[in-house]
Amino acid sequence: SFQTSFYGRFRHFLDIIDPRTLFVTESRLKEAVQLLEDYKHGTLPPGVTNKELWGAQKIKQAIIHPDTNETIFMPFRMSGYIPFGTPIVVGLLLPNQTLASTVFWQWLNQSHNACVNYANRNATKPSPTSKFIQGYLGAVISAVSIAVGLNVLVQRANKFTPATRLLIQRFVPFPAVASANICNVVLMRHTELEEGIDVLDNNGNIVGSSRIAAKHALLETALTRVVLPMPILVLPPIIMSILEKTSLLRSRPRMILPVQSLVCLAAFGLALPLAISLFPQMSEIETSRLEPEIAVATTSKTVVYNKGL
């Protein structure tokens, strides 16, 4: 079923990013997969409720890759994104960073992103490890150089007062992360642009391999990767610069880090489902907009593809 409305997708992705699915055992996962198989073949044991079926569906979608049917490694699942990503965000937003710490947090963030992008890619075509390494290096180098470059610019700008400089520095992570995220998605998945991705008709049969669909898939994913860090890297600095003026935090400087961590966690929890709900994971595209050989190969007016997350 397509999540046609934004709200429908939002609820669907809240399920996919629910961190509780990280604690599902191997046997519970097997049970869930078996239940869905039985349902598909009409051999459900009596007494299975709809609620149990939806529960099984939720577990399978959160843990298993739709194209490879393999289990996704825990820290790289969408459900692991917030718990594993929040500490990195807190690090990115630490005030008064040295050059070394800027480099370290940007590197860690892009490493985590590269693995998440790769683990949740469209995997209808095999992709060599060398491509993964190229993409990974490109993303890390772009993030680090943009962040360092922006920091140096801010330091050199004489017309800023020290207070303004500190404030501007707090926003440096966003342009660095957003532009590197685009590089990351494109580099981690550029094989798809060369070889195309499988497009399916309404019955789920593969019609062909389309580069145009791949371009759409990458563009949509890249857009979500610009929207995603916005609330995460822009809201906490604003909220923190207000909170740090309060007497509570002024008298208790030790509280700043825990408070900032909570603020980052909340921003992440809001931003992730919002960003990935922008486009359906299974995207629909009119056959007429694709390559002529695909338009000829099917009678369907539209075909679908997994855009990856």
Q: CB of 199 within 8 A of CB of 208?
A: yes
Q: Which tens digits make up the pLDDT trace of 192-249? A: 888 899 999 888 889 999 999 999 999 998 999 899 899 999 999 999 989 999 999 9
- 257, two tokens: 């880090």
Residue 70 lies in a domain: no
Residues 60 and 86 grouped into a single domain: no
The count of structural domains within the chain is 2
CA–CA dist 214, 33 (Å, integer): 29
CA–CA dist 210, 304 (Å, integer): 11
Q: Which amino acid type is present at position 12?
A: H
Average pLDDT (177-194) is: 84
Q: Which amino acid type is present at position 163?
A: A
Residues 269 and 122 grouped into a single domain: yes
Look up the domain containing 174 and give its range. Answer: 78-306
- 123, two tokens: 């995997």
DSSP secondary-structure letter at 2?
A: -
| Closest-CA residue to 25 (of 51, 63, 70) | 63
Residue 1 lies in a domain: no
pLDDT at 21 over 80: yes
- Comparing 33-42, 155-164, 236-245, the range with the smallest average pLDDT is 155-164
The residue among 18, 40, 64 that closes a domain is 64
Residues 58 and 84 grouped into a single domain: no
Residues 166 and 84 grouped into a single domain: yes
**Alpha-helical runs (H) found in 93-172:** 99-119, 129-156, 162-171
Residues 139 and 27 grouped into a single domain: no
pLDDT given for residue 34 in this prediction:
93
308 Rama class: left (phi>0) / alpha (psi -120 to 50) / beta: left
Residue 72 lies in a domain: no
Residues 28 and 98 grouped into a single domain: no
Q: How crowded is residue 67: how many other Cβ atoms within 10 Å of its Cβ? A: 15
Residues 191 and 58 grouped into a single domain: no
Q: Which tens digits make up the pLDDT trace of 68-95? A: 899 999 999 989 999 999 999 999 998 7
pLDDT given for residue 1 in this prediction:
46
The mean pLDDT value of the chain amounts to 88
Q: CB of 259 within 8 A of CB of 243?
A: yes
Q: Which tens digits make up the pLDDT trace of 110-151? A: 899 888 888 888 788 777 788 788 888 888 888 889 888 988
pLDDT given for residue 3 in this prediction:
62
pLDDT at 188 over 80: no
Residues 256 and 231 grouped into a single domain: yes
Alpha carbon dihedral 1, 309, 277, 193, in 10-degree steps, equals -90
DSSP secondary-structure letter at 253?
A: G
Rg (CA), the chain: 22
Residues 152 and 32 grouped into a single domain: no
Residues 199 and 53 grouped into a single domain: no
Whose tokens are 């992360």? That residue is 177
Whose tokens are 């600095």? That residue is 237
